[in-house]
């Protein structure tokens, strides 16, 4: 199985390719739309602002290629900003996202009983597994992942796509699955054994989505 890791200049591409190699999976960086031709697994990482993320993908011809693959059923895993770009848009910018998710990314804000709330939300934090799927096995205990973000998708108890949640001020979506489309707000490439296991499950189990 070959995994294509999208390289728009705004993600930890080298770390992701290295982790894929450590779990025994071949991975290559995709820097143009043509690099994604025939892709069977795609990872879309990203750090930075929403509008710059959109511009980076469009400038390199990656936007149209990704949209076509996603709508054709290719498994795509968005990471951090990459996950946010799957939404309709973000409070952080004015550009439209891919619109694969019928939600909008919001700026994080404190809850009614929050103390010590700061942005960005950075560092290790517990993640609550709400339901099993491709990314998390049945009976998975709550896990810890590394976060670095100031915007997120608000958690909705009625949303079956939200497979894991976390809390910083208010509860937000830490991971989602919607058919062949998946996303995580945290950085699995920085999350040691928890991140490695999640990437293994994406690579090996995405065809079951």
CA 192-193-196 angle, 5° bins: 85
Dihedral pair phi/psi, residue 12, rounded to 5°: -85, 65
Helix (H) or strand (E) holding 64: helix 62-71
Among candidate residues 74, 80, 121, 130, the one labeled active-site is 80
Helix (H) or strand (E) holding 201: helix 192-205
Task: Please give the radius of gyration of the chain, using alpha carbons only, rounded to the nearest integer.
Answer: 16
Among candidate residues 92, 130, 177, 189, the one labeled active-site is 189
CB 183 within 8 A of CB 175: yes
Among candidate residues 4, 121, 149, 187, the one labeled active-site is 187
Annotated active-site residue 80? The verdict is yes
User: 100: Cβ–Cβ under 8 A, 6 or more apart, which residues?
Assistant: 70, 86, 87, 178, 181
SS3 label, residue 26: strand
Pairing, β 2-6 against β 42-44: parallel
| Tokens coding 191 | 């999350």
| Tokens coding 166 | 């976390």
CA 21 to chain centre: 19
Residues serving a catalytic function are: 80, 187, 189
């Amino acid at each position: 199985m070959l995994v294509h890791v999208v390289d728009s200049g705004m993600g930890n591409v080298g770390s992701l390719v290295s982790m894929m190699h450590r779990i025994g999976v071949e991975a290559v960086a995709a820097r143009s739309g043509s690099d994604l031709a025939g892709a069977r697994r795609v990872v879309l990482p990203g750090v930075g602002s929403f509008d710059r993320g959109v511009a980076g993908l469009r400038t390199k011809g990656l936007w149209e290629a990704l949209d076509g693959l996603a709508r054709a059923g290719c498994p795509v895993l968005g990471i951090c900003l990459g996950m946010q770009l799957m939404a309709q848009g973000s409070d952080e910018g004015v550009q439209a996202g891919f619109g694969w998710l019928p939600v909008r990314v919001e700026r994080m804000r404190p809850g009614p009983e929050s103390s010590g709330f700061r942005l960005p939300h950075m560092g290790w934090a517990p993640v609550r597994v709400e339901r099993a799927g491709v990314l998390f096995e049945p009976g998975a205990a709550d896990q810890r992942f590394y976060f670095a973000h100031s915007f997120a998708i608000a958690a909705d108890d009625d949303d079956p796509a939200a497979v894991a949640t976390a809390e910083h001020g208010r509860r937000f979506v830490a991971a989602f699955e919607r058919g062949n489309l998946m996303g995580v707000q945290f950085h699995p490439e920085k999350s040691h054994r928890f991140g490695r296991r999640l990437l293994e499950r994406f690579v090996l189990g995405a065809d079951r989505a």
